[in-house]
Amino acid sequence: MIQVTDRPRWLRRTRAIDSEWLRLVFTLVRREVRDSLRDWRIVIPIVILTLFFPILMSFVADMALDWVAKYNAPIVGERMLPFLLLVVGFFPISFSLVIALETFVGEKERKSLEPLLATPLTDAQLYLGKTLAAMIPPLLASYLGITVYLIGLYFIKGWTAPSVLVVLILVLTTMEGLVMVTGAVVVSSQTTSVRAANLLASFIIIPAALLIQGEAIIMFWANYRVLWWIVLLLILVATILVRMGIHTFNREGLLGREIDQLNVASLWHTFRRYLMWERWLFGLDLRPPADGGRVPVWLRWLGTVGGLYGRDVPAILRRSRLAFVVVGVGLLASLFVGQIYAVHYPLPPGVLGLEQITADTFAEMPSIDWLPALTTWGVLSNNVRALLAAALLAMFSFGSLAVALLMAPLAIIFFFTAQAARLGYSPVLFFAVFVLPHGLLELPAATIATALAVRLGATLMSPPRGMTVSEGWIWALADFLKVFLAVVVPLLAVAAAIEAYVTPFLVVLAYGS
Amino acid sequence: MIEIVRLTKQFDDFVAVDRVTLSVSSGEILALLGPNGAGKTTTVRMLAAILRPTAGHAVVAGYRVTEHPQEVRRQIGLLTEHPGLYLRMRGGEYLDFFGRLMGLDAEERERRAKDLLARFGMSEALGRRMGTYSKGMRQKMALVRAMLHDPSVLLLDEPTSAMDPHSAKLVRDAVSGLRHHRRAIVICTHNLAEAEALADRIAIIRRGKIIALGTPKELKGRLLGPPLIELHLAQPADGLVKLVSDLVEIETQGEDWLRYSTPSPQETNPRLLRMLTAQGVGVVTLSEVTRSLEDVYLRVVEE
């Protein structure tokens, strides 16, 4: 057997990007672009949107400026010119979505994908080549359209766009194209037919349409700095989608999947497999003996609990360590945010009024609508609801919103602790009586739940090695449910009882009059 | 050239290829014969480093498919079941594209493309868009694509499926012309005649498992028993049955003929002829009954 030993193993693993690597990518890009440009269904709309539409927009802008001037509303016209620049740039790049959606699944349908997969191209080269090929023609058309529009307006109206605005629109257009293409490539590589890919494209089209509407409002508001933040957001989304695409795109997935049918029985079977754990007690494996004997019932029950808490939960927490790091960073950030806000928005003296707290203060709290009832059940149900909502949001935000939901109350706690310090109270005493009694249990419970929720969302972007997205997600869901029911809810229940009965007592003891 | 050891591929709960072990040496053509869904294509895709085996391993042209998939893909030529051409491209452009991906320089790409197209009688197709090609031409173009970089391993997945007999013959002739002492060829097919005509050895695969492996002759001998000989006489055979039954095992008989099997026809037949001549019995013909691969296949698959 031949061993490839020309480079050290670690260097081979880096898949160094050299000129040969890029040559193969551009060979693929060139073919794909040429193929797109031979398709009249792509070429004709792009030509219309690149040449005819921008000229039309120039005349529309000219007429609109004259019309609004009659009503003494020149500002509407002034704002319309940059807005139309955005529209002229966006329309051609919408075609990148069509090309990208077709890129893998269309080839698969035409049976031309397998020969390409049998070439020495790596998965990354295929992904990059297909993505670039889907982006280049529409982006060039978009840049050309913007140029035609600007030249048209210069000659018709003598209007010259500020260079910052032109750069902003070019960057914005490029990033919108990148987000749509990377999203479409993910969709395309996960479906088995163009029809299915087109149906799933709504997940790209609807957010893109909402984004354009938002950008239009910002354009008329003329606060272009906000658009740079949108550019930053788009870069973040594109990065996540590229990572997701690279993780989910592989030859196995492209050819191994033949039908899109939802196999509920198979999903349930997988879920059950991951949800189960083995009975275990202090190193003793409690599986039924091979000779057909039975393990006593009491020992099986003990083994079930021992297996869950002694082996399964620690293993789940260990494999979620990266998610814990993310949550830890979030906790530190909330401390920082709370401090910053406390400095920027100091409370006037007397607002906290800690000396005025009495036992009645807590008794009156249920009358405040947005706060949960200060009972064990009220606090527990509120916390469970919040953490489940965080897990749900995590699935749609690759885990980020779960961290944000945890950060918000913590930032508020740190804000008030810092304010207490500013107003002359001891921040240690404040934190010790208001937060610590129940927080000792509640905070770890919330951290654990959030970390597992982060895994639920992040798995969609980056499934565990050797697993499909659905398998990895089902695994993360089973882990979440096990730990949530076995660890988080019991901790929250005890914390809720402390919060309802011990914390108020300590607060009154420390500050009450 | 190809070494497969306990190669397994599982999709969820479905085992597509189950502990397949076989080898193909240089200069040999092996046919993977089996019904639809038997695991032939999955095996070929694993050999082409497109699918990753669940268990076991395969070494192709000296490289393990799991450890050096790119090297493996550089060494193999794959003809897929469907030609999978880019129909808007011209033949020349198409071959140039794949030649670039396989790392051939411009001069070599052009030379190899022209040579191969000429060999398959397709020279005039070089400048034509492939959408205008006939079915046979498309399959031959796909074969040229697979051969462009002169691979040491050629994997042909159902090369003539869904083709009319004339086109299928053209492709079969082309494939037989690719035999080379430095090249191992694997053909997946469910066409028995094709397997028998082209292959040195045949592996019959069913439900992901190799259930029979050997040369066509070995398979027939092993699975259908010893050769069957038919003897036609110039007179009624009734009186002779007892005489010859000491020498051979009679399977069936007619008025002036009988059919017998013998494990060693080289020894038995001359003795039988001598005996019949001594008895003054006239022999019209003595010939081996042709048994098709179909008999072997049906017996193995039905078992």
pLDDT by residue (tens digit) across B200-215? Answer: 999 989 889 998 888 8
**Residue of chain B minimizing CA distance to A118:** B73
Model pLDDT, residue A488? 96
Say yes or no: B11 contacts chain A, CB-CB below 8 A. Answer: yes
Low pLDDT (below 50) residues in chain A: 4-5, 7-11, 13-14
Interhelix angle A427-434/A400-422, nearest 10 degrees: 130
pLDDT of B76 reads 94
Cβ-defined contact of A35 to B12 (cutoff 8 Å): no
* Domains of chain B and CATH, by start: 2-214 (3.40.50.300), 226-291 (3.30.70.1560)
Contact at CB, B97 and A31, closer than 8 angstroms: yes
Cβ neighbours of residue A320 under 8 Å, at least 6 residues apart? A451, A452, A455, A479
pLDDT given for residue B36 in this prediction? 83
Low-confidence residues in chain B, pLDDT < 50? none
Least Cα separation, residue A464 to chain B (angstroms) = 16
Q: What is the pLDDT of residue A440?
A: 94
Q: What is the distance between the alpha carbons of residues A322 and A312, in angstroms, rounded to a whole number?
A: 18
Give the DSSP H/E element, type plus range, for residue A428: helix A427-434
Query: b vs e for B53-71, b when ≥16 Cβ sit within 10 Å of the residue's Cβ?
Result: beebbbbbbbbbbeebbbb
Q: How far is B303 from chain A (nearest CA, A)?
A: 29
Residue B65: what pLDDT?
A: 92
Q: Is the ipTM of this complex over 0.85?
A: no
Q: Quick check: A267 contacting B, CB < 8 Å?
A: no
CB A459 within 8 A of CB A402: no
For all residues of chain B together, what is the average pLDDT? 86
B102:A255 CB<8 A: no
Query: Tokens 């401090």, residue?
Result: A339
Of the candidates B84, B92, B82, B89, the residue with the CA atom closest to the CA atom of residue B116: B92
Strand partners of residue B17: B9
Vertex A430: Cα angle to A380 and A367 (nearest 5): 45
